Amino acid sequence: MRRKLIAGNWKMYKTAAEAVALVEEIKKGVAGAPGETLVAPPYTSLVAVVAAAKGSPVAVAAQNMHFEKEGAFTGEVSAAMLKDVGVSHVILGHSERRQYFAETDEGVARKTKVALDNGLLPISCVGEKLAEREAGRTMEVVGRQVDAILNAATADEATKVVIAYEPVWAIGTGRTASPEQAQEVHAMIRAKVAALDATIAASVRILYGGSVKASNARELFAMADIDGGLVGGASLKAEEFAQICAAAG
């Protein structure tokens, strides 16, 4: 039985003080929630949020990391640095990283492997653009992205990877894939994993990300292969995020 995971991606919002105030509200709201809860604040708030979340059911993730151990990479952050501040997860290859910062399938796969090597749990993102969906290329594009991620991990490591399917056309647009559309892609992703190992496929969690809200969460999470959500804007509202977490039962 896969336990649902609800991950809140705060993107470029919240100062450290604001982030602590938000996580304190979220801690109260998700007490007793049926699934796992995770928040991903900006780098500048990680230390404060890790401290505020300590001893609570709320885990903390970073929103990105570099694949190199260290070096002359101004503005970047390494896996070791993230481990040092106490995060447990890292989001990799978010559609905004791919779209605005030219991240590639190969780069996301490389980061996934580095995260695993450093004891971080990767939430590796995949998803198609609107033009690709309209051209009937969803399975081709998402399948290619998933293959790159799986090829970077051993079979044992694959059990630790969380895959997040986020159709780019549904990110921050208010448009959401129907539960059936999302389930179709999630089932294909699980089949990709099953081609490597059926037992691993049964345990790997696949999240849906794309305008997840309290109003649609329960219907989405009821789908057989949707194991939770990667939540954007709604995770900045403690009450709504708690409602989404409650829908994971």
Contact call for residues 236 and 42 (beta carbons, < 8 A): no
| Distance of alpha carbon 236 from alpha carbon 239, whole angstroms | 9
Residues 6 or more apart whose Cβ sits within 8 Å of residue 162: 5, 89, 121, 122, 123, 124, 204, 205, 206, 207
**Catalytic site includes residue 166:** yes
Q: Among 36, 66, 89, 94, which one carries the catalytic annotation?
A: 94
Q: Among 66, 166, 186, 240, which one carries the catalytic annotation?
A: 166
Contact call for residues 46 and 90 (beta carbons, < 8 A): no
Residue 75 backbone class (left: φ over 0; alpha: ψ -120 to 50; beta: rest): left
| Distance of alpha carbon 248 from alpha carbon 160, whole angstroms | 20
**Catalytic site includes residue 94:** yes
Proportion of the chain in helix, strand, coil states, percent, rounded to 5: 50, 15, 35
- The residues assigned a catalytic role are 94, 166
